[in-house]
Amino acid sequence: GEDVEQSLFLSVREGDSSVINCTYTDSSSTYLYWYKQEPGAGLQLLTYIFSNMDMKQDQRLTVLLNKKDKHLSLRIADTQTGDSAIYFCAESIIAGNNRKLIWGLGTSLAVNP
Amino acid sequence: GAVVSQHPSWVICKSGTSVKIECRSLDFQATTMFWYRQFPKQSLMLMATSNEGSKATYEQGVEKDKFLINHASLTLSTLTVTSAHPEDSSFYICSARDGAPSQETQYFGPGTRLLVL
């Protein structure tokens, strides 16, 4: 079945890089996403990558995709305290006549000063 | 661009009443909208997928008579929690996607926190 897995917690020091990892199972995924959720708030789209790409860079964010291993990672350079949040990995799959997102449980990132 | 709003942002109601939550796409036409619920410290659970002008597709285990979804226009979908009970208390989040075949990205509303007493 469809499944997306992430580690639940990550703690880094301010200024260091953070790497959040995600694995997925559905090989028909077209897009893979990273969303950020701050406490009590909705979800903010951070970045996404199309399945035929290996890497995407957007300012401090770098997404790496290893399609063979079904492994996705998000690297945040120069992590700041404002980056503390829950980061969700999601894959877009075909479901009947629609597409839907399959979500990981989220990685809680704590940034220590 | 791609802003989605929800109203209300939070609501407290008595058990047995019905609550309506609105989801609007402000600067694009959303042919498809999604309704999720999220329990504390958990991931999002897809409740239903709503296409404009047609009946919503509910996920397994979601009662369609309890969670009524209407997607009457390209910018508005509503979720009505009928005869709400305390176990319906949750964070409800909608998302919207425009109709372009190449556009799969979902944009999320800020969520509605429902507390049923």
The model's confidence at residue A30, banded by pLDDT at 50, 70 and 90, is: confident
pLDDT at A104: 92
The answer to whether A100 contacts chain B (CB < 8 Å) is: yes
pLDDT at B100: 60
Q: Are A69 and B30 a contacting pair, CB within 8 Å?
A: no
B78: nearest Cα among B7, B2, B3:
B7
Q: Report how far apart, in Å, the C-alpha atoms of B49 and of each of B54, B84, B102 are.
A: 10, 21, 18
Distance, in Å, from the CA atom of A96 to the CA atom of B71, rounded to the nearest integer, reads 19
In percent, the amount of chain A with pLDDT more than 90 equals 66
**Who has greater pLDDT, B40 or B76?**
B76
Average pLDDT, chain B: 90
pLDDT at A100: 82
Q: Are B65 and B97 a contacting pair, CB within 8 Å?
A: no
pLDDT at B27: 87
Least Cα separation, residue A5 to chain B (angstroms) = 11
pLDDT at A78: 97
Distance, in Å, from the CA atom of A21 to the CA atom of A37, rounded to the nearest integer, reads 16
pLDDT mean over A80-105: 88
Q: Are B106 and B44 a contacting pair, CB within 8 Å?
A: no
pLDDT at B81: 97
Say whether B99 sits in a helix, a strand or coil: coil
Q: Are B81 and B67 a contacting pair, CB within 8 Å?
A: yes
Least Cα separation, residue A84 to chain B (angstroms) = 15
The model's confidence at residue B58, banded by pLDDT at 50, 70 and 90, is: very high
Mutation site, A5, A47, A50, A98, interface B, largest B CB count within 10 A = A98
Residue B97 pLDDT > 90, yes or no?
Answer: no
Distance, in Å, from the CA atom of A10 to the CA atom of B18, rounded to the nearest integer, reads 40
Average pLDDT, chain A: 91
The model's confidence at residue A29, banded by pLDDT at 50, 70 and 90, is: confident
Residue written as token pair 């990892």: A21
Q: Are B39 and B47 a contacting pair, CB within 8 Å?
A: no
Instruction: Find the largest Cα–Cα distance for chain B.
Output: 43
The answer to whether B7 contacts chain A (CB < 8 Å) is: no
